[in-house]
Structure 1
Amino acid sequence: MPTLVLDTLVNAPIAIVFDLARSIDLHMYSTKKTNERAIAGITSGLIELGQTVRWRAKHLGVYQTLTVRITKMEKPYFFEDKMIQGVFQSMDHQHLFEEQEDGAILMRDVFHFRAPLGPLGRFAEWSFLTVYMKRFLEERNRIIKAVAESGDYVCYC
């Protein structure tokens, strides 16, 4: 099962970074390239513990849906979402936030996923899917950082 670990330093208050990471509206803004839209469950605002969101997006040329639930949350330090329906065999995403000595926030993503289709899925993970997912998450984190540091977060929190 591939695991991606991404660290992003953000110069903004921890509560702001935490809220931006769980903002449905910012998620849609950060995923414009895939035309990602919240179509069921929580469709705007900040997602909370136990809530679900169903996303529709175009990935790798195909429209797909993915439903996730927030399964754990410790504000403003941690939350986890897990796929409950979607194209992956399994997927979970841990979001961790830690204040650094210099005042920056370390935002760490730990993303586990498993492609379907057995050996064919393992080949897809190895050949292109892991790189695709890493770039997708890096772009999202770049936008969270930019919005948090610019002060534009008031539009999303």
Structure 2
Amino acid sequence: MKLYKKESVQYVNASIEECWAFFSSPRNLQKITPETMGFQITDFDGKNMYAGQIIQYKVSPLLGIKLPWVTEITFVEENSYFIDEQRFGPYALWHHKHFFEPTENGVKMTDLVHYALPLGFLGRIMNTLVVKNKLKAIFEHREKMVNQLFNSK
């Protein structure tokens, strides 16, 4: 299984507490996800993130086909980082670390995703042709939305 990595860094014009309050609420994920993903939370307990939390979604990553995606929040350190891992979904592996570091002007937010695709050789071809570009577009959209929400003040 081939493991891929996607990293992004963004500076947010907000306090660490404001940044954490926004990103630790699963409800806000839809606000920063492209509409083309058809992202919809189908079940979660309504609480801010905590280790062991299960969140269920529907996503349409390709051709409008709805797929279930279940993630577990595996680690949380308030105002510092959290990790979500796919339990069921389109990836063979999805491990997403979200880091938040206070800076002089706000917060440095770093995302580090490790992922793998199913289907061996076909998955590697899909990554080259589709998946890595789709992830790039998702993170670019997220950066734009975070800028609108926090950095345009």
Q: Output the CA distance in 1 between the equivalents of 2:24 and 2:137.
A: 19
Residue aligned with 2:49, SS: coil
Q: Using the TM superposition, give the Cα deviation of residue 150 of structure 1 relative to its aligned residue in structure 2, in angstroms.
A: 5.8
Match of 2:9 in 1: 7
- The reply on whether 1:94 has 2:67 as its aligned counterpart is no
Residue type of the partner of 1:81? D
**Alpha-carbon displacement from aligned partner over 1:103-146 (angstroms, at most 9, x marks no partner):** 22110000111111011001111222111112112312332342
Q: Output the CA distance in 2 between the equivalents of 1:65 and 1:91.
A: 14
- The reply on whether 1:39 has 2:38 as its aligned counterpart is no
Match of 1:79 in 2: 82
Q: Which residue, 63, 86, 89 being the options, matches 2:66?
A: 63
Match of 1:20 in 2: 22
**Alpha-carbon displacement from aligned partner over 1:10-63 (angstroms, at most 9, x marks no partner):** 110112112222322221222233221111233x45232210101102111111
Ranges in structure 2 where 5+ consecutive residues have no aligned partner: none
Ranges in structure 1 where 5+ consecutive residues have no aligned partner: 152-157
Q: Output the CA distance in 2 between the equivalents of 1:109 and 1:24.
A: 16
Identity across the alignment (%) = 21
Match of 1:29 in 2: 31
Residue type of the partner of 2:73? I
Q: Output the CA distance in 2 between the equivalents of 1:143 and 1:45.
A: 23
State the TM-score, normalizing by the size of structure 2: 0.88
Match of 1:139 in 2: 141
Residue type of the partner of 1:53? I
- Aligned-residue Cα RMSD (Å) equals 1.7
**Is 33-42 or 118-127 further displaced after alignment?**
33-42
Match of 1:107 in 2: 109
Residue type of the partner of 2:111? D
Q: How many residues align?
A: 149
Residue aligned with 1:92, SS: strand
